[in-house]
């Protein structure tokens, strides 16, 4: 079992497969989830059903088998969707009216890791209370169904097609005339993403789309853009799209091989949605880590930016609470709440390409809607992170630096959730200025918070 104090992290239960994330844990966790998430169905007098999918990493084979066995043994009917992106499993959970969904993936992590993520009915992420209830029921005694009451397991051969049809339905315009390179990270989108782009009319060049169970995220995908940049230049493509292992995020590359990050993607898409009257309340939801340049750009465009704590789950919570339609993170998690319940890298890539096709403007030109301010991020290790907010001298130093930046930059100090680390982030008009401010604050953090 993972050694963190809380079983569930910010995105399910994740760790080294067969050490932290074992078959035994997967089975016990799925039984506990069956009791918590299937309770409403039982109270309504029907058998619960769940959709289960995974990314292509090798450990997903035995872990998904354990999850499916646990669910069926607890009286849950299982629809086995096999290898599909995380957002596809969320979509299918809602589309099939399943009581919950399960995804086996460690996202952008290296191949040896894996994780177990649950979706509630409707394809929504679980809140902390439900996750804690599942964790509390891991080792509880339970009455095992027998005979006809055990769950049944069926394959879901149309899951791939249903998800692609959904994506094509929500696309605002076709991609005819667009040449795009798709980097599937040898992950869950390796089949889906190239296929849907072709069906939408694009000419597609594929890289990183040959998963063998061992090569997921290995030198390809959204955390390794060099191959994508080279392919875009070599093939004369209009843009490149990079997914991570489970395809819940997307980064892009323009025709010159320059990266277009999540903040720029959100800026482009926010302007696009606003132009169509589809940006709810003319508001974009982002995290405190988004570049100040995004906030400045959106202000010029008449778009309000609401900022949340770091993590796409917090973005989603704010979006759902106020019915906002677009939100995301600098890392490339982008959520279209009108069309999905979680970050969807394939949909994000499609929407970005659709904007290029609709306007006839190169991606590089569209990305100029915002200027990324130089950003410096330093992780200060070996300090007492619990005193960040309470140390008056440190807070005074932060206020002094912010005052000196005079609104043309910003300072952010964050505590790591899992390590004795304080993250110092500074943005300013020039790289040298940002670095100088960061260096000064790092020294204050070390002086004031050293253990």
Catalytic positions: 107
Is 290 in a helix, a strand, or coil? coil
* DSSP code, position 209: -
CA distance 109 to 298: 32
Are 86 and 12 in contact by the 8 Å Cβ rule? The answer is no
Is there a binding annotation on residue 312? Answer: no
Identify the sign of the CA torsion 60, 52, 95, 334. Answer: negative
Are 241 and 349 in contact by the 8 Å Cβ rule? The answer is yes
Beta bridge partners of 51: 79, 101
Are 186 and 210 in contact by the 8 Å Cβ rule? The answer is yes
CA distance 409 to 427: 5
Q: Which residues contact 302 (CB under 8 A, 6 or more apart)?
A: 274, 282
Residue of 117, 113, 176, 138 whose CA lies nearest to 24: 138
Is there a binding annotation on residue 20? Answer: no
Is there a binding annotation on residue 107? Answer: yes
CA distance 380 to 321: 35
Provide Rg for the chain, Cα atoms: 23
Please count the other Cβ atoms lying within 10 Å of the Cβ belonging to residue 154: 10
Note the helical H segments in 38-110. 39-43, 59-73, 86-95
Is there a binding annotation on residue 238? Answer: no
Binding site, by residue number, is 107, 244, 246, 248
Binding site for Mg(2+), by residue number, is 107, 244, 246, 248
């Amino acid at each position: 079992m993972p050694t963190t104090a809380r079983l569930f992290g910010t995105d399910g239960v994740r760790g080294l497969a067969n050490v932290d994330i074992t078959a035994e844990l997967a089975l016990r966790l799925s039984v506990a989830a069956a009791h918590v998430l299937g309770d409403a169905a039982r109270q309504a007098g029907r058998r619960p059903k769940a959709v289960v999918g995974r990314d292509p990493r090798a450990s997903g084979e035995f872990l998904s088998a354990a999850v499916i066995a646990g669910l069926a043994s607890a009286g849950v009917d299982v629809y086995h969707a096999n290898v599909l992106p995380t957002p596809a499993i969320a979509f299918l959970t809602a589309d099939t009216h399943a009581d919950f969904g399960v995804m086996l993936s460690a996202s952008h992590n290296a191949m040896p890791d894996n994780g177990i993520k649950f979706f509630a009915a409707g394809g929504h992420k679980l809140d902390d209370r439900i996750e804690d209830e599942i964790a509390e029921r891991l080792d509880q005694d339970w009455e095992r169904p027998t005979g006809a009451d055990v769950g049944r397991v069926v394959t879901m051969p149309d899951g791939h097609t249903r998800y692609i049809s959904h994506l094509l339905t929500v696309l605002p315009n076709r991609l005819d005339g667009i040449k795009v390179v798709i980097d599937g990270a040898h992950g869950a989108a390796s089949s889906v993403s190239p296929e849907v782009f072709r069906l939408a009319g694009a000419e597609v060049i594929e890289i990183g789309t040959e998963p063998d169970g061992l090569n997921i995220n290995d030198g390809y995908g959204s955390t390794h853009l060099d191959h994508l940049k080279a392919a875009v230049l070599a093939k004369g493509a209009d843009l490149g799209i990079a997914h991570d292992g489970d395809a819940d995020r997307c980064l892009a590359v323009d025709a010159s091989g320059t990266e277009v990050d999540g903040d720029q993607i959100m800026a482009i898409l926010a302007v696009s949605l606003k132009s169509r009257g589809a940006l709810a309340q003319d508001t974009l939801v982002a995290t405190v880590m988004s570049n100040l340049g995004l906030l400045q750009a959106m202000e010029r465009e008449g778009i309000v930016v609401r900022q949340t704590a770091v993590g796409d789950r917090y973005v989603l919570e704010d979006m759902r609470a106020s019915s906002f339609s677009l939100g995301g993170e600098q890392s490339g998690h982008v959520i279209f709440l009108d069309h999905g319940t979680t970050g969807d890298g394939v949909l994000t890539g499609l929407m970005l390409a659709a904007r290029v096709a609709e306007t006839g403007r190169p991606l590089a030109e569209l990305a100029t809607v915002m200027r990324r301010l130089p950003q410096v991020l330093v992780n200060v290790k070996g300090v007492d992170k619990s005193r960040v907010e309470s140390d008056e001298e440190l807070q005074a130093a932060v206020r002094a630096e912010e005052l000196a930046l005079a609104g043309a930059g910003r300072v952010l100090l964050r505590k790591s959730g899992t390590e004795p680390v304080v993250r110092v982030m500074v943005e300013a008009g020039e790289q040298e200025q940002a670095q100088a401010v960061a260096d000064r604050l790092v020294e204050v953090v070390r002086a004031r918070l050293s253990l």
